[in-house]
Amino acid sequence: MAKVSYKELGLVNTKKMFANAMKGGYAVPAYNFNNMEQLQAIIQACVETQSPVILQVSSGARKYANQTLLRYMAQGAVELAKEYSKELGLKGKPQIALHLDHGDSFELCKSCIQMGFSSVMIDGSSLPYEENVKLTKKVCDFAHKQENYITVEGELGVLAGVEDDVAAEESHYTKPEEVQDFVKRTGVDSLAISIGTSHGRQKFKPEQCTKNADGILVPPPLAFDVLKEIEKKLPGFPIVLHGSSSVPIEYVKEIEKYGGKLKDSVGIPEEQLRKAAKSAVCKINIDSDGRLAMTAAIRKVFTESPSEFDPRKYLGPARDELKKMYMHKNKKVLGSADRL
């Protein structure tokens, strides 16, 4: 397939998005998608709440949905957002970026850039420091030389947990003393850091948590002291949080009510994410919460209507629940509503 620019698809890059977010004290939502229903929910929620949005595609999603199809899905999402905005009589112009989440090689990042992505992440956080610098700089050099500047996200520190092709047993906080050197030598446009967030729906082990009066696991707080040190080292620089799903207990209970087993599920409290969004953290990634919302809705339909076999009858309610959840995140957690 011929090379295409993100501007041809109607997408934007994240540079201005992040500047506006830091100035306004909010975080741009970065929602992962793998299929049509997820994409519909994201677009509807962000149009109705007038929020900018970053559509995230992992390498796993790229394999699942096909890179060519994803390109046209993103283009279709932009057109859907325009039509929906007009239908609702909204004045805000949709701001949609397409981002590669956890790219693990130069070749993958290059391919996504040539397929119309407006932003890519190169994750060399599992590599020795100098190798991470070298790989990240290589991606930045290529991305920034494109006719339309492509923004690049790098990562320092390691998040624990498992999500798609990304897995780590233990987390390692970002070292504030490394961030200036890393940004200067690589040229990254934003930096993903580790301050206690984690991938997946079980972000902490039970022994790391306390329990409230209802017996629900309460995770340890995020390391805001580390974040403050990083902000001092990189004043005004865009910071990203991965692994930031809150793992809502209502979805966990709903899934278990209808036969699922999600023992010891625990996420990041929403009040901590809201606090982070008021800092230099201008992009917050949320994936697992979407999976939980969809699974809860689908299990409910299958249990209450065991004869149902029309995908629209169970994927439709799942999409509706997903949209509801995203609207809540934009309004009450990230603060990104009414920012267009």
Q: Which residues are catalytic?
A: 101
Cβ partners under 8 Å of residue 123, min gap 6: 102, 103, 104, 154, 155, 166, 192
User: What are the start-end ranges of the H helices in the chain?
Assistant: 15-24, 36-48, 59-65, 67-88, 106-114, 129-144, 176-186, 224-233, 249-257, 270-277, 288-304, 311-328
Give the span between the Cα atoms of 248 and 229, in whole angstroms: 30
Determine phi and psi for 262, rounding to 5 degrees.
-130, 60
Q: Whole-angstrom distance between the N-terminal and C-terminal Cα of the chain?
A: 33
Q: Could you tell me if 125 and 158 are in contact, meaning their C-beta atoms sit under 8 angstroms apart?
A: yes
